[in-house]
Chain A
């Protein structure tokens, strides 16, 4: 490796410094939130004294806990629904006959959802849910959790579909054909060959859908119903009134849990023999 032998040049040093600076930039506000979560004062932004008071009162605050639970439920529902839709869509797109028109149309439709600003999705969903739930009498559409799952799935599906299509495009369809030749039924070859092959893509897609749902603020703030306020919308309304350290405390706790879960996922992937870069890329969906 010639790079190893050569001494570090000026540009190399500059690149390492730049890398460090960008990391500091990326972690600065997160570090601030974690630090301020140990603020015993009444207001988040003015640091009073060090302590864990915010964690104690945050965990005892029913409204906060309920909103976190709503978010987790909505994210789980979204991950399930978007993954099913995305898996079907992605596999169908990757295995489509060349020259067919529908794959182009479906890709265009999905791409359109990705380039549509979220606020447009939000204002489109709200009247639609009112039409379905109130005018058409489909009562599930009046349920806050149901609304969140449906809305979040609408924008997650495209991403999951594209992740799975990319995964399946790299896999030769001859494996599935071989299964058929050996006498497997279509369903059997789909279940025992195609799905396991799509596995990492499905997994990455589900993780992505979960994250996107958990993080979503704009769309949620439009479609939410009283009693089903997701966590980001709770924070957003708190911003307008007064931010208390509890918000930072619960966010820090959630961040720690997320990172632990992701580390676990990474460990499982590593056990199955993936390189670390590959794992991260899989989890980031690219």
Chain B
């Protein structure tokens, strides 16, 4: 009976519509773009021609303008991702650990309100806040902090603020989920075994949240690199990002060949970042596993029962005392 059941649901047959759709409306069109990238723009009125295949468009892509926009975009993405991480780690920790469980749901829902507000509308909010004749600018001048109107809108700094804001919820959410599922029990066990708060955070909570950190970083970095909405609303002519260059080739310059080549470069770059991150994650995981290893007597489960482990004499419950979560740490806050 199991095999009969598997034949129906475990079979790939059920996934056929998904397959077909993704191949037809994702893989094929993207393959078409890759094909266009080897073409050229023959005249003013034609978007592309495939009569002569060459790598010429890729040579055009590697131009100083493109490269400078590319590095600027990269800087904005990296700084943005790191800033989101730095803002979100204490915040998610606070939400998952410090906030009483009864109120957690409501606060988490509040975090999601920006997520459910239109992306563009939120960005417009920042345009008003940062504008030179806006209320922030006037207030800052009023109290004498600024001598002249606020000069930040339509600059890279404004784009930076905008992207950090726009992608922050995407970092908070996976971090919260990871820290929440790390569980009260493990943190209490760590405290019972004498680890300080910081030590528990860095050796229990954070390592267990690594998958959340990684998925959060990717969730922020990938859309951020391709984003150009934030840049066009807040950056003006000074804050151009790579997405705008690609879109321009299709919407204004009508040069599909060059636009395709840029898109392929952008796509390969994002893919490379994901692959490198995945490899890095494996390394980090292995390091954490090695550094934080706890050797238990055989036959006993990992994750020692907090009460008994603390009551037993040192070394019997947790054999390897250093550098794991252990009973040797002095000065736990847990009086």
B98 within 8 A of A: yes
Instruction: Assess A30 versus B118: contact at CB under 8 Å? Given A2-B334, A115-B271, A150-B25.
Output: no
* In the complex, chain A residues whose CB is within 8 Å of the CB of B263: 117, 119-120, 123-124
User: Nearest-CB distance from A175 to chain B (Å)?
Assistant: 11
Q: Are B105 and A275 in contact (CB under 8 A)?
A: yes
Q: Are B104 and A85 in contact (CB under 8 A)?
A: no
* In the complex, chain B residues whose CB is within 8 Å of the CB of A19: 91, 94-95, 98-99, 107
* In the complex, chain B residues whose CB is within 8 Å of the CB of A214: 118
Q: Which one, B5, B14, B21, B120, contacts A235 given CB within 8 A?
A: B120
* In the complex, chain B residues whose CB is within 8 Å of the CB of A31: 125
B9 within 8 A of A: yes
User: Nearest-CB distance from B5 to chain A (Å)?
Assistant: 5
Q: Are B116 and A262 in contact (CB under 8 A)?
A: yes
Q: Are A102 and B15 in contact (CB under 8 A)?
A: yes
* In the complex, chain A residues whose CB is within 8 Å of the CB of B222: 114-115, 117
* In the complex, chain B residues whose CB is within 8 Å of the CB of A235: 118, 120-121, 124
Q: Are A277 and B101 in contact (CB under 8 A)?
A: yes
- Complex Cα gap A103–B9 (Å): 13
* In the complex, chain A residues whose CB is within 8 Å of the CB of B169: 26
A36 within 8 A of B: yes
Interface residues of A in 199-226 (CB under 8 A from B): 211, 214-215, 217-218, 222
Q: Are A115 and B256 in contact (CB under 8 A)?
A: no
Give the one of B94, B114, B135 with max A CB within 10 A. Answer: B94
- Complex Cα gap A122–B6 (Å): 38
Q: Are A102 and B274 in contact (CB under 8 A)?
A: no
B239 within 8 A of A: no
Q: Which one, A95, A181, A232, contacts B120 given CB within 8 A?
A: A232
Q: Are A95 and B22 in contact (CB under 8 A)?
A: no
B289 within 8 A of A: no
The A contact surface, by secondary structure, is helix
A66 within 8 A of B: no
Interface residues of B in 1-23 (CB under 8 A from A): 1-2, 4-6, 8-19, 21-23
Q: Which one, A22, A29, A283, contacts B112 given CB within 8 A?
A: A283
**Closest residue on chain B to residue A176 by CB atoms:** B5
* In the complex, chain B residues whose CB is within 8 Å of the CB of A25: 87, 165, 168
A255 within 8 A of B: yes
* In the complex, chain A residues whose CB is within 8 Å of the CB of B22: 106, 109-110, 113, 154, 157-158
User: Nearest-CB distance from A258 to chain B (Å)?
Assistant: 5
Known contacts A116-B30, A127-B256; can you find 17 more A-B pairs with CB under 8 A?
Answer: A6-B333, A15-B94, A27-B113, A36-B128, A85-B18, A95-B6, A95-B10, A109-B22, A117-B263, A118-B223, A124-B29, A128-B28, A157-B18, A180-B1, A181-B1, A222-B251, A284-B115
Q: Can you identify 18 A-B contacts, CB atoms within 8 angstroms? A: A29-B124, A29-B165, A31-B125, A45-B133, A92-B15, A95-B6, A106-B18, A106-B22, A109-B26, A116-B267, A117-B270, A154-B25, A154-B26, A176-B5, A180-B1, A255-B116, A277-B105, A284-B173
Chain B interface (Cβ < 8 Å from any Cβ of A): 1-2, 4-6, 8-19, 21-23, 25-30, 32-33, 36, 87, 90-91, 93-95, 98-99, 101-102, 104-129, 131, 133-135, 165, 168-169, 173-174, 177, 180, 188, 191, 197, 218, 222-223, 225-229, 232-233, 243, 246-247, 250-251, 256, 259-260, 263, 266-267, 270-271, 274, 333-335
